[in-house]
Each structure stands twice: as structure tokens, then as C-alpha cells.
Structure 1
Amino acid sequence: MRLIHGLVAAAAVLVVIAILGGVALVALTARALDRIEAQDEISLTHRSLARDLDRTRRELTSATEWDAAYRAMGSRVDAAWADIDFAAYYKTQFDHDLTFVMRSGRVVYAARDGLRAAPARLGSFPGRAAPLAEDIADDARRALDAGRLGAAAEVSRTGLMQVDGATYLVALASVTPESRAAAETYRGPPAVVVTARRLDAAFIRDFSETYGLDRLELRAGPVGLKPYAPLQDIEDRRIGVLTWDSADPGLSLLKSLAPWLAAGFLSLTLAAVLLFRRVADALIQLKKGRCELVAAKEEAEAANAAKTLFLANMSHEIRTPLNGVLGMAQVMAADTLSEPQARRLQILEESGRSLLAFLNDILEIARLESQAVRLRSEPFDLADLVETACAAFSGAAAAKRLGLSTDIAVEARGRWRGDPMRLRQVLSNLVANAIKFTEVGRVTVRVRPSAKGLRFEVEDTGPGLAPEHLASLFKSFSQVDSSATRQHDGAGLGLSICRELVELMGGTIDVQTAPGHGASFHFVIPLERVADERPSLRVVG
């Protein structure tokens, strides 16, 4: 009872741990889902900013890659043209906040909010953009000198830039001619157009609505546990973060499911209590029935041992007088007998030998079941063993005009270590069965090396076996044809003995057969190869 109570208590602890573990697993899953969602939102933010920068570059180059723009930004800047096709164009079409043109490190045209403006109104922008503009101008000059025009000569850069406390989407591009004629009109330093759009409240609001980021803000650094996307400027310097309220789908789902989860866990707890009571009752009944089960097992084992002893004793007791009968029959056969007497004596001797073989099989089964059979380990020649096992049945095969042949692989020949007597017994039983059930054709014995030792196969051209007979084929006293009119005699012990002996030797036995296609019995035995013994040479002198 103490053990039963301990088992029930342990089961209760396991259920409590399972419930708490389930709650923890659900919470961890929800948290992991929230982290995945936050990472997805961060990746979405970075990709979206990259797309906005790329769109800003395309918007800029839509007017800078143009013969008219190259001529207008030549040695004499056409400010009236720039008012329409740079300042007003970028403001009205794309809502850029400021646009200016730089050449040789200075501003040659400036516009703010779509209107021409003095360079001073650009604040620190020209100074921040000048190094980048010089690099772009150098690249553009090399492209023109190499004869490239249009898109092939375009040089541009995009990125974020923090100027005078504000953050901008910035794009820079060289003014590029499309034709050779336009390129020839001006050979001076290239002009670089800079356009910028501020990340103001309107931009942040549109970005938040477009990509579903709640309460999106541009800040100098992270705030609490809110997810954020760090921002790098065009020169890869940290300039702030975009932060927003996390959607937390996992936590929201957990909150919505909390009542149902609580009800489920409560139901599970009640079911566990009832189950524990049933288990306790079952364990008590099991304890009561255990003694009966042990007693029944011991009684069954005693009965089986008694049966085995009875079979062994009876087989021995019957075999002794039967040997006397067979011996006397042989003595009588030496006398001069009439033909009827000789035929009757032959029938008597054949019947006695069949009975003796049956008794030997019973005795062998009894010894195997009582584990009285002991294996030997000695070297033997494989070819001799197979030939000897088959030679004993050559007469029976010839009487039925059956072919009996052996096929031993070259790599399997030689000496092996095992129990040759038991191995020959298994092989003889299988060959005897094959000849007995085969009326036309042949019986072939094959031996091949196996990863575990040797594989023996006895193949015949007999009638084969139906699938429904295979399950009981290797059982004791099992007959494929159990009717009173069956054609072949036998007690159904041969294959059972084969199975017991093969398993005793550590091997496996099986059959492949089909009705009308013969049968192939094969078994694999773990044997050890023995090196050939050769006489050593001794030098005499």
C-alpha cells in the first residue's frame, strides 16, 4: 500500500508539473511569437526606408539625366529653367523640401519648398553635402571622359542625413547628358543636384499608416522595451532610431485564450483527481491479483517442465524397445524368407524407422525446450559439411528423379568455427523436406558469405506454400496439410527443430515462397572463419 500511495503521489506531482509546464510553454510560445513579430517589423522598417531612398534617387535622376538639364547647368546656370524643372518639379511631384545644385564645392542654385532661395537658407546642408558632391562629380567626369552617356554615365548616392537637428532622406546625382551633341556644349566641372525630404510628422504618419506601425516615432535612442529600428546616415553613423508600439500578437492571443485555458486546466485537474482514484483502485486490484498471476505462472512453468520431462522419458522408453524390434528385423532379414515374408518384414522395418525418427524429433524438441542442448565450437570444412549433408539424400533424390546440387561461393569455401553437427542437422532437415515435397525438378543448396557469417539456402521446385500457412510454418507439430488424407507423413517437428537450433546458434531463419513457384528456405549463422593450417617448414642442417 505504501508503494501504491507513493505512485499516486508521484503521478499527482507529475500532473501538476505538466499543468505548470503547459502554462509556461504557452507563455514562452506567445513571447517567442511576439519577438518574431518584432523582428519582422524591424526588417520591414529597414526595407521600407531602403525603398523610400531608392524611390528618392529615381525621382531625382528623372530630371538630372536629360540633355536640357545638362545645358541649363552648364557654364551659365539657367535659373529660370531650374525654377520649373528642379525646384517646382521636385516639390509638386514628390514633396521634396529642398533642392540645390553644387559645382566645384559651391552652391550655384538653391530652392526651398519649391521656390528659389538664397544658399544661406539651406543652413548646414551645403557643407555636409560638399564632400559627397565632389566624389560624385569626379566619378561623373571620368564617365564622360570615357565616352559614357545617359544612364551609363549616371552617378548617384542616397542615404539619411541629419542637418541642423532634422533628419532627411537625401539623394545626390550628377547632371548627365543623353547625347554626344549635348555633352559637347559644356566641358567644365560637372554639376551635382542634391534633393532632400525631411522625416517630419507628416512623413512619419504616412509611414506608420502604410506599414501598420502603431505610434511610430523618430527618437535619438530606444525607449523602454518598445521595438526599434536603428538609423544610419549616409556616412554610416548612428543618428537615431524609429520606435513604435509592439503589436504583441502572442500576448494578445494569450489574454484572449486565458479564460478557456483556465477552464481547460481546471477540467484537466478534476479529470486527474478522478483518474488517480481509479489508478489507486486498479493498483490495489493489481496487487491482489499479482500473487495469483505468479502462482499461475509457476504452475504453467511446472506443467511445461513436466510435459518436457514426460516427452523425454516416454521417447526414451519407447525408443529402447523399438531399437530392439528394428535389430531383430535386421536379423530376420538375414534369413531365407519367402517374397511375401520379405515384403512384410521390409514394411515393418520402414515403419519402425519412421517411428524412431519421430521419437528422435520429440526427444530433440524436449531437449531444446529444457535448454539441455549445448553447442560445440570446433573448426570444420564448409564444403565437406555441405556435401555430407546432401549425400545422405542423394538416393532419395535419385529415386524421385530429382536433381540435387550444391553451389558454394568461392569466398565462402574453407574452414570455419562453429557446431558442425547442429549445422549439418539443420541443413539435412531442410534438404529432406525439399526432396519430400518436390515431385519434379531439382533441389539446390547454396552457401554465400554474409556480413554476419554464412547464409545457407535450400531451394526447391515444389508446389510452394500459400501465404496463410507461413505464420505457423516453424511451430511445433504444425502441418501445412493437416487433413487425414494428406500425401506426406511427418509430425511437423522438422522446421520447428531447425528454428530452435538456428536461434540457439544466434542466427535467423526464414522462407520465400509462393504457390506454384517452389520454396526457398534460408538461414544466416554467425560463424568465424578459421585460417588454413599449413605445416611449418623447418630447416635441417
Structure 2
Amino acid sequence: MSGRTSSERKDLKRIIAITLVALTLVILGAVGLMAYAAAGIDRVQAAKERELAQVRLDRTLEGLTENINSSAVWNDSVITLAGEPDLPWIQSNFGDYYADFMGHAVTLVYDRHGRLILTSRDSEPVAAASEQAFIDAVTPLVAQARREAAARHDRSRVGFDAVVNRTALVRAGSEIYLVGLGTIVPEDLSVPRLSNDPVVVSAKPLSGFLTSLEKDLAIRAPKLVAADAPRTAQGYLDLKTADGAPLGQIAWTPPRPGLSVLRDAAPMVGLVILLLVVAAVALFLRVSRIVRRLEENELDLTEARDRAEGANIAKTRFLGVMSHELRTPLNGVLGMAEVLSMGDLDARQRSQLGVLKQSGENLLSLIERILTVAQLEKGEVAPNPTGVDAAALVRTVVDAHRPAAERAGLTLIAAPDDSIAGLWRLDGDYLRQVLGHLLENALRHTPKGSVRLEARAVGTELEFRVADTGVGIAPSRLPDLFGKFVQADDSHTRAKDGAGVGLTLARGLVEAMGGTVRAMSTPGMGSIFTVHLPADRVGAGPAAEQQAA
């Protein structure tokens, strides 16, 4: 009997140990998942800033071309450079103009013979020797532009059809420049084009671009570092020459919105963890008292067994309640319970671990649905076109949403035109999702009346229209309608379900299939969403065959 009591005490201690291990794994998993989610948000923010910086760099270089062409495509410039160069005029209309009005730092002008006739810095003519490093850096670009201009044998072309432009990043000494150049050509046929086109080169220092990143894009403290410098932060933009050689990189420290989210969630998570710890301590104390009573009175085995069984039931209930409560605040962070499944567990404990694992799998499914928007922005969604009966698909989607329409007291109509009869090559799964999102949106915002899904063939495209008699959308909200987490009317939709990503997903899937989606609406009268998808007919239906006959 003493041996049996000792075995029961060991079982109770094992229960306590397993419970504590499970609790520890739950807490560590919760903290780890939150940290991972915060880091993911930070990575998205950094990637967005990198993309914005690259777009700003590209647009700055495009702006250089526009600035240069304002003087390069000009009859007066061609006339002046046709004979002996008028250097004061050239300085005024190139060097001074680019520096004073465009913010350029350095300007070079080459005559039709390829000779450098003007070197200007900060609106002042300077000796070419003082800018030799810059001249050497842009010489290959000038040579390329002259060769391309010479290769165009039709010298009757003028204006923007004749000009040759180049943009690039170059290093001159310790400074990196954003460079643009253009050949000097007449703006119209009133002035004959020269036998060889002169060339103008103008550049801005990278320092001004860094200032614009900080001022216009709110990128914090961007700075130029070496191309091989270690990346200690996620904010960076590689700088390369026209032939792809590295020049350096712009580095900055992006904001960390994920850390702010983690900070905001910390009190609630801390409270949940504290409650778990308190419950674990209470369980530990309860079981400890039972063990002590067993040790003090081994003769009362029945009572001790009852108490031990009560403690075991309390443990089981605790784990069940803990698992249930953690699904919402911790989003199923019990994935680490998989480690416990490899140990020596009884049937009841293994069943509990299975519940925890399933909770993690459910969370993963929810997360994957939300992450579809990010996958669309990065271009990671690829359609798989097959032969699809478009008319049947339209009816199937409508039938799937008919119960919801009937519960809302709405009329839901499927109206596929005879022109789409037969099989079409497109991604049926994506199309089903797109039409489903549009129908759900229409049903959600139509208090009375009807929703109609039409489909027809228009040339080489299929057109799908979802029309409703709902509340409509204000014209000011239409441009942002397909943005993430955007709802057409906050005052009306606040009582509606949905996070505002359905239309975003619809647009992303349509664009992934090479199509377009647009919305038209009149407040108080309803909305029409129109989808155009490119599609090839791969099998004709009866109606299409009769039309062909």
C-alpha cells in the first residue's frame, strides 16, 4: 500500500512538471510569435521605404532629362552652336539656367566637333581642369550619346524625336552625382539640324537627393556609405553606375511600427501571462497540499486518492480553459507543444496536446488569408489558366451567395450572356474569388432591392458586372475604394462585418490575371463594379456555334 501511495505521489509530481513545462512553452511561444510578427511589420515598413527611395531616385533622374531638354531642344541653341560659340550666351542659357532654376551643380557643353567649350559650376564658368574628375566620369556617357545620334541617319528629325538622352549615377572624386545629358537639336524644321549634334551634360550632387529623401519622404537621417559596408539596418538603397558597377549605398534607420504594436499589446499579454502564472501557482499549491497530506496519513489512501483525482481533474480543466482562452489573445501560440508530443505522455495528455496543435494550425490558416494582400503587392500570385465554363461559373457563384441574399431579403440575379457560352482559358479559381468578393461587398451594402451579376464577351476580353441598388459611394471615396482596409462610408459600414480588404483582394487577383476592375456609383442609387479579363475561347458552346454558323 505504501508503494502504491508513493507511485501516486510520483504521478502527481509528474503532472505538475508537465503542466509547468506546457505553461512555459505557451508563454515562450506567445512572446516569440509576437516578436516575429513585430519584426515582420518592421520588415514590410523597411521594404516600403526602400521602394519609395528607389522611385524617388528614378523620378529624379527623369526630371534631369526634362530639365536638360528645356534648353537642349531649342532653335536658338542650335543657331548659337552652329558657328563660333558665343560663350556668354551659352553660360547664361545653360550654366546659369540649370543652376539658378533647376538646382544643378555642374554643367558641361560640347560643340558639334566633340570639344568641351563650357565648364560651369554653381552658375559660374570655371576652368575645365577644376572639374577634370567629373569630366572623366561622364566622358563614356557623352561618347555613347554622340554615337547613337550619329547612327540615326535621318537628320530631318527634330524636337523630341531627334534628341538623345542619357541619365546615370557617376562618382567624381569623393562625390556622387546624378547626371543627365542630351544632344542639342532644333525644335522644328525652321532651323536646319547640324551635321553632328552638340551635347550638354548637367548634374546634381547626391547630397541634394539625400535631403529630399528626408524632407519629402520622411526617411530618417539617410547617409551615403560604402557599397561593401555592412548593413546594420533594413533601410538601404544600392547605387550603381549605368553599367551596373556599385558606387555605394544610401543607408538609414527605418521606423519600427512593429515595436510600437508590441509595446501596445504588452500590458494585455502581460496580464494574460500573469493570470496563467497565478493559476499554475494555485494548481501547484493545491497539488502540493495533497501530496503533504498523503505523506502525513498514508492510512487514508481512499481520501488521498480522491484528492489526487480531484487535483488531476483540476489540472485537466485548467489546461482546457487555458487552451480555450489563449486562442483569442495569443492566437494559438501553442505550436511549441509539438515538442511535448515526442515525450512519454498518457492518452489524456496527448489528446490535450492535439487540441493545442490544431489551434496553431487554425491560426496559420487565418494568417495566410490576411497575408494574401502582401503576396499580391510583391507579385507572388501567379494565375493558372485552364478551360473554364464562364457561364456555369457565374451561376455557381451566384448560387453560393443566394442564401445570404435571401436572409437579407434581397433578389440575387445571375445574367450570363450567350456570347460567353463555351470554355474560356482563364484561372477559374481566381475568377470565382473575385466575383465572390464583389458579390459579398454588394450584398453587405445593399439594404433593399437587388444585386445582379452580368457577364458577356467584349472582343478578346470577358466583362463581368456586379450591379446593386445599395447605398452607393460618395465620389470623393472612389479613388481610394480599392485600398487596403478602406470602406466606402465609415458612418454606414461601421455596423457591417468586414475588415475592408475584400475589394483589395479582388483588384489584386484581377490584375494578376492581366485584367482591370473599376467602380461607378451614385450615392443613394447603387454601385456598379466592372471587371475586364483577357481570355481566349478554347471551346465553343451551342450559342457560340450557332452564331458562327
Q: TM-score, normalised by structure 1?
A: 0.48
Larger Rg: 1
Structure with larger RCO (C-alpha < 8 A, sep 6+)? 2
